[in-house]
Structure 1
Amino acid sequence: MTHDPSGSTSTDRRTFLQAGAVAAAAAATAGHAAVAQEPGQEKAEGAEKALSIPRRPLGKTGIDVTMLNAGTGRGAGIQRILRYAYSQGIRCFDTSQRYQSEGDFKQWFQQEPAVRKEIFVVTKDLPKAPAEIMPMLDQRLAAMGTDYVDLFFVHSFGDNHPLDEAIAYVKSKEFKQAADAVKKAGKARLVGISTHHRNRAQILQAAAEGGIVDAIMVQYSPWLDKDAPLNKALDACHKAGIGLISMKQLAGHFLGTGQQKNMLDEVKEKVPMLAERDLTPFQALLHAIWTDERIASSCVSMTNTDQIRLNSEAARRFTPLKAADLKSLRDADLAHGPTLCADCDGRCAHAAGTAAALGDLTRFLTYHEHHGLRSKARECYDALPAEARDWRGADLEAARAACPSKLDFARLLPEVDRRLA
């Protein structure tokens, strides 16, 4: 089912849901829930019962991956997080040069060498030209202490090139040669791109046409109109056999409204399915994402064992959601003011008559306030040109009206300046 803005629904082979404030508040609340069992304690008490998570084909690569993918970043306790995620059945792990968690993988592999062959490892870097892929991958392998990765992504694809150059890159002979070279050398089983660029629909369409990319990690809104360019691009990639991994499905939480403590109770009232299925809002979000059969896996940043336990449980209990439940979750999301639009394509800034990157600014605020990636958020903000940071004079109400997630820019952008400038 795809959402029709008029209020009706049109049915096809999948359903979609926007990941929003519902998700983020649940994830934030998870950190304050009852303390989960320590990894060692759970292993001691239930060693005879190994946990597993359902798998899906990663496009036409011939490889199945767990539906839940553990995103990692630098921070205290990463070793504990990695091992606990593994104990819960997660077998897909995501890192990158910028996340600064590669050393934790290296330590893990040194202490438990057998683990490396049992997990699907994804890493990323920022090669501006295909010729840089091999040397950058060599650096990533050295940092992780492994001879190969399962999937190498050209990271933040589209951010470091004009759009026409990005499209040419993903279809180029040089990119194909570089991808073939690292596979032939046994250094990466698969090669792809990750993107949250506002023109990612065009980039994905080019990747589908180019026939080079094995997999794509994409900022994703599973609540898409059937005829939306991004939805059509996802269809093209799926048809071409490209494996799709969702990311940025957390869309933020309240900032200074005083309502966050009441949010979960309100959401449960608006979405009866949560009580019927005994799901948290974020578990329901994951079920909604996985209802889209095109998505092989969802990459989720999990910073404590409660989040890992709840999300892993959601994967084990997954059943597709009905259209009415998706609509209820979507409505609850919009009612609670998300801070990130996972469907951002720049239409907000266009409507506001500004050169400011409104979607990027709110995304960086979400990194800072929700994901806890404060240094990364400031680095991303500082990397923007001055005109992309200057939202003064923009028609913020017009921006809100044009935004698919109806972000409250008048509330959020002053917070961007206060937190990141």
Structure 2
Amino acid sequence: MHGREEMGCEAPADLDRRGFLGAGAGLAAAGMLNGPRATDAQEPSKGVKSELIPTRVLGKTGVPVSILSLGTWNSVGLDRILRTCWAGGLRYVDTAASYNSEPAIARWLKSDASIRKDLFLVTKSAPNTPSRLMAALEKNLAALQTDYVDLIFIHAVGDHGGEASIEWPRSKEFKEAAEAIRRSGKAKFVGFSTHHKEQAQILMNAAEGGFVDAIMVRNNPWTAAEAPMNRALDACHKAGIGLISMKQIAGQQDQDQIARNLPELKQKGLSPYQALLHAIWTDERFSAACVSMRNTDQVRENLEAARTYRPMARADILRLRDACIAAGPTFCAGCDGSCSRAAGTEAELGQLTRALTYHEHHGYREEARRLYRSLDEKARDWRGADLEAAREACPNRLDFARLLPRADELLS
């Protein structure tokens, strides 16, 4: 949910010129990720400011979207979360056929007819081939009980559709499907999401194809300037493709340690989660960050991050990077498979730690086990791998020797 190819796997000492007014590139995103951990304590109308949060134009679409998007993957209490986000000025909601959230969104839209005209609504489906996207979209619309969505994504390109899907963003089939959907008015814009290890190539293909409106992608706010992923983001931005960040908070579990290592955050009134969002928004190429919010306290913290956003200095992003790595994350948003290659193994180390993150960070235990079981035996068998070499190759220095045995214990 989550790249960077071999030349981008060294410790990222340099950051791209874009982003923080001369600093770093964007961060991930996921499928979607949890915000701060807290309890759902208050009613939506309490303690929520009503002004709209800042917006940015989504690429060549020309449409301004909230810089914070509500991700709705398996959200419990979504009715309250939707109302709280709306009261707090958020106007961008992200769902998918597989998120189990479209019916709740339909109820919310039906509760107030005025919502739809001001809402930027995104959904996703995972057809086996782009030509089937229109039929999949029809099912999305039926579940949402609306005549159109603003943006439809092919979900998780690279993971769905096999290796051939890497070429979809520049294929004639996808182009024709996108044109037909836009003509139909059932979706204004068409794009895709990806967290595949070849996502840098997938993005380059989209920039070459020239017909994709938007992409949601995992990334780090400290991606090295010379990394293939950074060049791919530049190519998409130049082509006018709207970029949405996801998975930016995944696996950052020890927030207390990050806060201790960065006492200046408290002085600025920021939590580590809020600082991560500020680092993402500092990259001017990204229009929005999509965050899965599980309760109204998380909503409030993320809305406040959007309202108080100021670009971060390069040195501050580097310090945030170091503090996050020191806190022992369970997920690498910059994974491109370099860890497995360095370790001399066919095991999908990035996928294994992704599944562990679903289980440990998000509490999506069945989804974690499903992902783990979807990997074949070779992809799960990390024994004999050089895990220290894998750690050195990983952009976020995951401690595979600690994480992989726990993944097997919990998910097998």
TM-score, with normalisation over the residues of structure 2?
0.91
In 1, the alpha carbon distance for the partners of 2:64 and 2:192 equals 18
Percent identity of paired positions between Structure 1 and Structure 2: 52
Distance in 1 separating the partners of 2:331 and 2:12: 23
Q: Give the superposition deviation at 1:75.
A: 4.2
Instruction: Point out the more displaced range, 366-375 or 351-360.
Output: 366-375
Unpaired segments ≥5 residues, structure 1? 44-48, 255-259
Q: Following superposition of structure 1 onto structure 2, how do residues 5-404 of structure 1 map, counting pairs within 5 Å? A: 9=14, 12-14=17-19, 15-16=23-24, 27-28=35-36, 30-31=37-38, 37-42=42-47, 50-163=50-163, 165-253=164-252, 260=254, 263-264=255-256, 266-404=257-395
- Tell me if the contact between 1:149 and 1:188 (Cα under 8 Å) persists in the aligned partners: yes
- Which amino acid letter does the alignment assign opposite residue 369 of structure 1? E
Native 8 Å contact 1:72 1:301 kept in 2: yes
Distance 1:155 1:90, change over 3 A: same
SS in 1 for 2:215: strand
Preserved contact between residue 287 and residue 318 of structure 1 (Cα < 8 Å): yes
How far apart are 1:148 and its partner, in Å?
A: 0.6
Which deviates further from its counterpart, 272-281 or 54-63? 272-281
Distance 2:170 2:351 in 1: 26
Separation (CA, whole Å) in 1 of partners of 2:25 and 2:324: 10
* Corresponding residue number in structure 1 for 2:400: 409
Query: How many Å separate the matches in 1 of 2:193 and 2:26?
Result: 19
| Cα gap change, 1:199 to 1:289, in 2 (>3 Å) | same
CA contact (8 A) 2:27 2:220 kept: yes
User: CA 1:10–1:281 in structure 2 vs 1: closer, same or farther (change >3 Å)?
Assistant: closer
| Preserved CA contact (<8 Å) 2:338 2:394 | yes
Alignment match, 1:257:
none
Q: State the Cα distance separating 1:395 from its structure 2 match.
A: 1.4
User: What is the deviation of 1:42?
Assistant: 4.8
Indicate conservation of the 8 Å contact 2:34/2:291, yes or no: no
Which segment is superposed worse, 207-216 or 269-278? 269-278
Change (3 A) 1:89 1:184: same
Say if 1:18 and 1:330, in contact at 8 Å, map to a contact too: no
Pair 10,100 (structure 1): closer, same or farther in 2 beyond 3 Å: closer
Secondary structure at the counterpart of residue 56 of structure 2? strand
C-alpha contact 1:271 1:325 (8 A) present in aligned 2 = no
* Alpha-carbon displacement from aligned partner over 1:56-112 (angstroms, at most 9, x marks no partner): 010111111000000002243111111111111111111111111111011111212
Pairwise CA distance, 1:118: 1.3
Q: Which has the higher contact order (CA 8 A, sep 6+)?
A: 2
Larger deviation, residues 7-16 vs 410-419: 7-16
Amino acid at match of 1:314: A
Do the aligned partners of 2:128 and 2:160 also contact (CA within 8 Å) in 1?
yes
8 Å contact kept, 1:17–1:326 = no
Secondary structure of 1:156 counterpart: coil
Q: How has the CA–CA distance of structure 1 residues 392 and 221 changed in structure 2, closer, same or farther, with 3 Å as cutoff?
A: same
Residues 245 and 297 of structure 1 are in contact (CA less than 8 Å); yes or no, is this contact kept in structure 2?
yes
Q: 8 Å contact 1:17–1:330 — kept in the other structure?
A: no
Distance verdict in 2 for CA 1:17–1:171, change over 3 Å: closer
Structure 2: runs of 5 or more not aligned: 1-7
Match of 2:245, SS state, is strand
Change (3 A) 1:8 1:376: closer
Find the aligned partners of 1:348 and 1:231 in 2 and give their Cα distance.
19
Once the two structures are TM-superposed, the CA of residue 328 in structure 1 deviates from its matched residue by 1.3
| Shift in alpha-carbon separation, 1:147–1:11, aligned structure 2, 3 A | closer
**For residue 3 of structure 2, what is the aligned residue in structure 1?**
none
Matched residue of 1:113: which SS? coil
Give the counterpart letter for 2:326 in structure 1. A
What is the aligned length? 399
Structure 1 stretches of at least 4 aligned residues deviating more than 4 Å after TM superposition: 3-11, 17-20, 24-28
Q: SS of the counterpart of 2:312?
A: coil
Q: CA RMSD in A?
A: 2.3
Q: What secondary structure, in the 3-state scheme, does the structure 1 residue paired with 2:223 have?
A: coil
Paired with 1:166 and 1:25, the residues of 2 have a C-alpha distance of 24
AA aligned to 1:100 is N
CA contact (8 A) 1:4 1:10 kept: no
